[in-house]
Amino acid sequence: MNSSVATTHHGPASGLSRWLYTTNHKDIGTLYLWFSFVMFLTGGCMALLIRAELFQPGLQLIQPEFFNQMTTMHGLIMVFGAVMPAFVGLANWMIPMMVGAPDMALPRMNNWSFWILPFAFSMMLSTLFMEGGAPNFGWTFYAPLSTTYAPPSVTFFIFAVHMMGISSIMGAINIIATILNLRAPGMNMMKLPLFVWTWLITAFLLIAVMPVLAGVVTMMLMDIHFGTSFFNAAGGGDPVLFQHVFWFFGHPEVYIMILPAFGIVSEIIPTFARKKLFGYPSMVYATASIAFLSFIVWAHHMFTVGMPLVGEVFFMFATMLIAVPTGVKVFNWVATMFRGSLTFETPMLFALAFVVLFTIGGFSGLMLAIAPADFQYHDTYFVVAHFHYVLVPGAVFAIMAGAYYWLPKWCGNYYSETMGKVHFWCSFIGVNITFFPMHFIGLAGMPRRIPDYALQFADFNAVATVGAFIFGFSQLIFLYNVLHCIRKGRKASDEVWEGSHGLEWTLPSPAPYHSFSEAPQIK
């Protein structure tokens, strides 16, 4: 029998059918990435609307009801629509090439995982036009705001979450099966590129916690429509139970959004430092420890809600423990650069900014982990500053870094380095102007999720809004740069970067439609 059954002879189909019916990991990766970018802009517009309203104290542009819908939708769209699909897109593109596989393990299911998303988000966005408006209870949808006091559209929100969950679980199963089963001969676990390792662990987290999210929204649905009292103390339930179940999902979820970012940065820094990654095994164990700890820290989001003292103390110390493996990672990245021959192409700039700014976000997280201090910080802009530091210059910068790093491999052309650097500096400056002042207004007591504020917060809010617009509009440079790169960038070599390492760089640029029909041998 011919060695590469049905895999060598066909290229992409033409027209729309290529994208609708595809089973190709690169096509599906591309779909995920574009989808996530569209969602990024959508959620970004909502963020700009929020910032515009907060430019000055008092109510100017939008009504408080709509402001609430915007904060809710912005959060949901960025988490489930922008960041997560972007990482899945990168996984789709890169994991088969990195482990020497012909494609993902279950290619048709791969297509299904993607195509559920546009339907789920159309449903979610359609709630904006429904009677009573879109969900307005924050992306954490705490009961009873999301049950007793929710708009009718909450039902559609619940089903949209179910669809996203199905998509994520299938995507994660595919990634695990690919990594465990489709590695090229000789590619043993401790030779896996770190991006693959971090995704393996992320996929495990997804399969473990997305069903819990499905469980919690199902209980909401039952409380709202079928007379149960899970989250209603009048029937013997407890609204705090909602928070426990939600955050049992929610905390691992934040690692789902950061572990692949760790992986990307661990690929990029060695390339541009022209050195091997320092402490590979410790990186793997640190990732695994972070994943393990993520299951026993959830109630650090609930210090002020009412928990027995042992609970407060346990969750405080368990949370602070996470700083140890995270510190190992930051140390390793820095040690990788130590005495390397560094160059600062755009991916490296984003990766460096990631290391510095993510660490700032990590430190403010450590501050929030201290239960007595958290009583002061809780639900203030300090929290907003913290999680935006880990998610924007954390997760989003890593995605940008990865996109620039692999773009030449994907489309065979280099992006424009000048434009890349402009994009980087605008983003870097914009992000810090937006989120750094939030630390101060948060510590001074400005509550989050409120469309108006006291006069003493006016200056920093105005500054933050200016920063947000700088950051937001500079993403258009990125869009232009990508389009330019696809159409007519300078031809890229196969290895693309001087210091690149790994199987994906042994393939031609652009990577052929089917990468490894014959498995490569790894020594």
**Comparison of 338 and 513: residue with beta carbon closer to another protein:** 513
Positions in 210-239 near another protein (CB under 8 A): 210-212, 214-216, 218-219, 221-222, 224-230, 232-238
**Comparison of 181 and 341: residue with beta carbon closer to another protein:** 181
Return the range that interacts with another protein (CB under 8 A); candidates 99-107, 372-380, 389-397, 503-511.
Answer: 99-107
What positions carry a catalytic annotation?
74, 103, 139, 167-168, 251, 253, 255, 266, 300-301, 326, 329, 448
Return the range that interacts with Cu ion (CB under 5 A); candidates 131-139, 226-234, 248-256, 268-276.
Answer: 248-256
Q: Are 417 and 485 in contact (CB under 8 A)?
A: no
The CA-atom distances, in angstroms, between 76 and each of 43, 195, 209, 384, 402 are 8, 25, 16, 15, 23
Residue 190 in the binding site for another protein (CB under 8 A):
no
Residue 251 in the binding site for Cu ion (CB under 5 A):
yes
75, 81, 107, 489: residue in contact with another protein (rule CB under 8 A): 107
Closest contact distance (angstroms) between CB of 108 and another protein is 5
Closest contact distance (angstroms) between CB of 132 and another protein is 10
Q: Taking Cα atoms as reference points, which of 282, 275, 274, 99 lies closest to residue 191?
A: 99
1, 339, 455, 487: residue in contact with another protein (rule CB under 8 A): 1
Positions in 166-185 near another protein (CB under 8 A): 166, 169, 172-174, 176-177, 180-182, 184-185
Q: How far apart are CA 513 and CA 161, in angstroms?
A: 33
Closest contact distance (angstroms) between CB of 373 and Cu ion is 15
The residues near 119 (Cβ < 8 Å, ≥ 6 apart) are 163
Q: How far apart are CA 498 and CA 465, in angstroms?
A: 40
Element (H, E) at 293: helix 280-293
In sequence order, the β-bridge partners of residue 413 are 491
Q: Are 183 and 101 in contact (CB under 8 A)?
A: yes
Number of chain residues interacting with another protein (CB under 8 A) = 93
**Comparison of 259 and 482: residue with beta carbon closer to another protein:** 259
Given CA atoms 223, 227, 232, 238 in this order, what sign does their dihedral have? negative
Largest CA distance in the chain: 77
Residue 452 in the binding site for another protein (CB under 8 A):
no
Q: How far apart are CA 67 and CA 419, in angstroms?
A: 34
Return the range that interacts with Cu ion (CB under 5 A); candidates 220-228, 243-251, 325-333, 400-408.
Answer: 243-251
The residues near 455 (Cβ < 8 Å, ≥ 6 apart) are 57
Given CA atoms 18, 20, 21, 25 in this order, what sign does their dihedral have? positive
Q: Are 141 and 135 in contact (CB under 8 A)?
A: yes
Positions in 278-317 near another protein (CB under 8 A): 306-309
Return the range that interacts with another protein (CB under 8 A); candidates 116-124, 337-345, 383-391, 395-403.
Answer: 116-124
3, 190, 372, 455: residue in contact with another protein (rule CB under 8 A): 3
**Comparison of 227 and 281: residue with beta carbon closer to another protein:** 227
How far apart, in Å, do the first and last CA atoms of the chain sit? Answer: 27
Name the residues that contact Cu ion, by CB under 5 A: 251
